[in-house]
């Protein structure tokens, strides 16, 4: 059974001061840190590390002050682990993926147990990939939401999104099919999108083996996954394939505009995602300049008419806030059935930290209500 939020908070608070930073852990793994020879030295080193960490965290206190208090708490824990590392824009893809995996405890905290979880390997254009079905206990054939993970098209996998997949399955009452796809920069556009389209088509044609009702399939994605989810909807609309019943798009990257008001206000690095990081992820995903004019890569360029119902969310302190607001305005003007919400006091990536934040539960419940509504009836 998953630990309660209070138990997690108490455990982490008690242990946090004694844990090494990410910098310390990396150096130790490389043999660059020698252990103290006596207890007094160990105690002195711990005091220095704590002091250094507090000085580092103090750099962000003003920026964090307006945030949800529980979010501030977990940000302090995570940023303490990241102290001493270069910003994401300067890290290699391998380093980003390693750090992302090491943060899985924070990303998956509080995830509920489910009656049945099953993994399959399927063929996609890039080769073989994993999909994982999360069943909250609903009889087959069941309405299903396909989950496309975030991570700047560069990182993320089934395991780093296990917590959110469990949450969305339980809170929506739908089965959730979580999908892995080829990652940039090794596999730039259109490879990640092609894999996602293939996985959705597999769910529609072969998913009955996992209890999926092909008539009642929706899609959800966050950040880069929201970009991909919207692009999947556009591609299916234009390609004559059975369309998604709806799409929940969480704080996505939809345009190449890096000088929006929200980028200027929140892109300095205090809120997980910075403007320099966003530029780096776009460069990894779209190294070909011609692809930057493709509406499947940059959905803000797309014709949004005749899309399925959309639930678009944004975080108040997110450099991508303006992307979501502009997309919602364009979709509404195109006549799309639209729900739009701004998550107050939240930063980019907040849904992955929902196990720590009481306020996120009702917001994910709203996503679940939307998914139930759009998949209620077959057709």
Asked whether the predicted pLDDT for residue 253 surpasses 80, the reply is yes
Task: Tell me the C-alpha distance between 285 and 372, whole Å.
Answer: 32
For residue 226, what pLDDT is reported? Answer: 99
Asked whether the predicted pLDDT for residue 8 surpasses 60, the reply is no
Number of helices (H), then strands (E), in the chain: 14, 8
pLDDT > 90 fraction of the chain, expressed in percent and rounded: 83
> Among residues 212, 188, 222, which one has the least CA distance to residue 93?
188
Contact assessment for residue 228 and residue 181, using Cβ atoms and an 8 Å cutoff: yes
For residue 178, what pLDDT is reported? Answer: 98
Out of 4-13, 199-208, 261-270, 320-329, pick the least confident. Answer: 4-13
Q: What is the pLDDT of residues 67-101, one digit of tens each?
A: 999 999 999 999 999 999 999 999 999 999 999 99
For residue 50, what pLDDT is reported? Answer: 60
Task: Report the chain's terminal Cα–Cα distance, integer Å.
Answer: 38
Asked whether the predicted pLDDT for residue 107 surpasses 80, the reply is yes
Asked whether the predicted pLDDT for residue 46 surpasses 80, the reply is no
* Residues with active-site annotation: 223, 318, 348
Asked whether the predicted pLDDT for residue 35 surpasses 70, the reply is no
| E strand segments, 151-211 | 175-179
For residue 132, what pLDDT is reported? Answer: 98
Question: What burial letters (b/e) apply to 205-226, b meaning 16+ CB within 10 Å?
Answer: eebeebbbbeebbbbbbbbbbb
Contact assessment for residue 47 and residue 39, using Cβ atoms and an 8 Å cutoff: no
Asked whether the predicted pLDDT for residue 26 surpasses 70, the reply is no
For residue 199, what pLDDT is reported? Answer: 98
Confidence of residue 378 (pLDDT cuts 50, 70, 90): low
Confidence of residue 377 (pLDDT cuts 50, 70, 90): confident
Please work out, in degrees rounded to the nearest 5, the angle formed at the alpha carbon of residue 264 by the alpha carbons of 189 and 94.
Answer: 40
Query: What is the average pLDDT across 38-65?
Result: 68
Asked whether the predicted pLDDT for residue 30 surpasses 70, the reply is no
Tell me the average pLDDT of the chain: 89
Contact assessment for residue 82 and residue 274, using Cβ atoms and an 8 Å cutoff: no
Asked whether the predicted pLDDT for residue 142 surpasses 90, the reply is yes
Asked whether the predicted pLDDT for residue 66 surpasses 70, the reply is yes
Contact assessment for residue 178 and residue 210, using Cβ atoms and an 8 Å cutoff: no
27 SS3 class: helix
For residue 44, what pLDDT is reported? Answer: 44
How many whole angstroms from its chain centre is CA 38?
A: 43
Helix (H) or strand (E) holding 143: strand 142-148
Domains and CATH numbers, the chain: 5-30+37-102 (no CATH), 108-374 (3.40.50.1820)
Q: What is the pLDDT of residues 329-363, one digit of tens each?
A: 999 999 999 999 999 999 999 999 999 999 999 99
Query: What is the average pLDDT across 117-146?
Result: 98
| Prediction pTM value | 0.88
């Amino acid at each position: 059974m998953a630990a309660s939020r209070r138990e997690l908070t108490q455990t982490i608070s008690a242990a946090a001061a004694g844990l090494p930073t990410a910098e310390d852990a990396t150096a130790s793994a490389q043999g660059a840190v020698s252990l103290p020879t006596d207890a007094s030295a160990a105690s002195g080193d711990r005091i220095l590390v704590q002091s250094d960490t507090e000085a580092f965290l103090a750099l962000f206190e003003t920026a964090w002050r307006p945030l949800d208090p529980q979010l501030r708490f977990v940000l302090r824990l995570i940023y303490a682990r990241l102290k001493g590392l270069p910003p994401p824009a300067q890290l290699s893809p391998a380093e980003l993926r390693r750090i992302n995996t090491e943060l899985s405890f924070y990303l998956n905290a509080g995830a509920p147990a489910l009656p049945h979880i099953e993994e399959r390997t399927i063929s996609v254009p890039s080769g073989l990939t994993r999909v994982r079905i999360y069943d909250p206990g609903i009889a087959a054939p069941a309405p299903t939401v396909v989950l496309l993970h975030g991570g700047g098209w560069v990182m993320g996998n089934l395991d780093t999104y296990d917590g959110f997949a469990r949450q969305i399955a339980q809170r929506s009452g739908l089965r959730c099919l979580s999908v892995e796809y080829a990652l940039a920069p090794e596999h730039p556009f259109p490879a990640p999108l092609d894999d996602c389209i293939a996985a959705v088509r597999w769910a529609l044609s072969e998913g009955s083996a996992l209890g999926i009702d092909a008539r009642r399939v929706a899609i959800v994605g966050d950040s880069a996954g929201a970009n991909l989810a919207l692009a999947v909807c556009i591609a299916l609309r234009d390609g004559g394939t059975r369309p998604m019943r709806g799409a929940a798009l969480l704080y996505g990257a939809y345009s190449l505009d890096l000088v929006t008001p929200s980028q200027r206000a929140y892109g300095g690095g205090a809120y997980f995602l910075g403007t320099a990081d966003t530029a780096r992820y776009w460069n990894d995903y779209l190294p070909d300049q011609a692809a930057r004019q493709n509406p499947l890569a940059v959905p803000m360029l797309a014709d949004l008419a005749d899309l399925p119902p959309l639930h678009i969310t944004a975080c108040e302190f997110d450099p991508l806030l303006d992307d979501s607001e502009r997309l919602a305005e364009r979709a509404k003007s195109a006549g799309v059935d639209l729900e739009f919400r701004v998550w107050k006091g939240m930063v980019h990536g907040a849904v992955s930290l929902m196990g720590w934040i009481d306020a996120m539960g009702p917001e994910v419940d709203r996503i679940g209500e939307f998914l139930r509504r759009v998949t209620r009836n077959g057709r």
